[in-house]
A = this chain, B = another copy of it.
Amino acid sequence: MKQFWSERIKNLVPYTPGEQPKDRVFIKLNTNENPYPPSPKVIAAIENAAGEGLRLYPDPEATALRQAIADYHGLKPEQVFCGNGSDEVLGLCFYAFFTPGKKVVFPDITYSFYPVYTELFGLDYEEIPLNEDFSLPVDQFLGGNGGVVICNPNAPTGRTLPLADIRRILDANPDVVVLVDEAYADFGAQSAVDLINEYPNLVVVCTMSKSRSLAGMRIGYALGNADLIAGVNCVKNSFNSYPLDRLALAAGEAAIRDVEYFEQTRRNIMRTRDNTIVRLKELGFCVQDSNANFIFITHPDKSGQELQQGLRDRGVLVRWFNKPRIDRYLRVSIGTDEDMEKMCAACEDILKG
């Protein structure tokens, strides 16, 4: 019964997040979470902030967190916007930069939240098909658009677009915003952040959910020229003044300042990923190149759904997308060495059957 719903939401199909199981303990490789806990300094910062001060509103400008992020990336605080996870940041950017009637473009196989934002906000868009090998047809992203959105490394394929191609797209679209979603860039991709002072039309979106082990704290941010960041702020301040609570602000600042812990855990994940790829190839899997904390795999002998169900039966959750072109694939997040050994053993067991 949608009697009281606004006309513009009656046909919306929301995004479906990966399962968060409540009843049973799984090896959880389905939502690209980090297998390592947050830095001990993050926990200490939260404990320090968890007191009487919670009766007061947070800093609506996230001043200290933005300064820490600016320091880390070699930018100015006015080039940093912080929001409630990179999903909220992306949503606010879509609203801030894209105008109805002007077509936003992104690949057909990419983060499935992008078409949801465009539907929610009544934006026109076109999904440009990736090449057969899931590489991006760069020529089709050059000009004539209302905006460009690129996830790099791409999800769920894990493939990376070289910075030279990002440059080509930026050069060819000087009048519209090019949004580069780098949720997974810390796992081996070259970041476009270095191009921010060169391109006034570039926005890079990052998250602390993956490489900072803080999916549970909802911290995302956008980087770009100060005029662009002012636009996102304008939307955010017309919607919710304080999207980050006091504990998230404290946690985010501690996380970004603990460079040593970050470097160590992301190195572990990259090493585990590379070892897992070798093992899966031995089992006959075809594995996409990955610069992310997940891999995208397929096997000639089993369908994606069979593999997903077989893994679930053996206590391992992975993500399968029931979508054209990728329905024989699984997206598998990188856990600990032990997690991945169990995952590979379960695959071996399924393939015997």
- In the complex, which residue of chain B has the Cβ closest to the Cβ of A249? B216
* Most B C-beta atoms less than 10 A away, residue of A58, A87, A239: A239
Alpha-carbon separation in the docked complex, A20 to B8 (Å) = 36
- In the complex, which residue of chain B has the Cβ closest to the Cβ of A94? B6
Check B239–A120 contact: CB distance below 8 A. yes
Alpha-carbon separation in the docked complex, A43 to B233 (Å) = 31
Alpha-carbon separation in the docked complex, A98 to B8 (Å) = 9
Q: What are the residues of chain B within 8 A of A176 when measuring CB–CB?
A: 4
How many copies of this chain does the complex contain? 2
Which of the residues B120, B213, B242 comes within 8 Å of A17, measured between beta carbons? B242
Closest beta carbon of chain B to A249's beta carbon, Å? 9
Check B91–A4 contact: CB distance below 8 A. no
Alpha-carbon separation in the docked complex, A31 to B227 (Å) = 29
Alpha-carbon separation in the docked complex, A241 to B2 (Å) = 21
- Can you list, as one digit per residue, whether each of A29-66 has a CB less than 8 Å from chain B (1) or not (0)? 00101111110001100110011111111111001000
Q: Which of A194-247 contact B (CB under 8 A)?
A: 200-201, 209, 213-218, 227-228, 231, 233-235, 237-247
Check B84–A84 contact: CB distance below 8 A. yes
Closest beta carbon of chain B to A244's beta carbon, Å? 8
Q: Is the interface of A mostly helix, strand, loop or mixed?
A: loop
Alpha-carbon separation in the docked complex, A202 to B252 (Å) = 38
Q: How large is the interface on A (under 10, 10 to 19, 20 to 34, 35 or more residues)?
A: 35 or more
* Most B C-beta atoms less than 10 A away, residue of A33, A59, A215: A215
The interface of chain A, by Cβ under 8 A from chain B, is 1-9, 12, 14-18, 20, 22, 28, 31, 33-38, 42-43, 46-47, 50-60, 63, 84-85, 87-88, 91, 95-100, 116-117, 119-120, 176-177, 200-201, 209, 213-218, 227-228, 231, 233-235, 237-248, 251
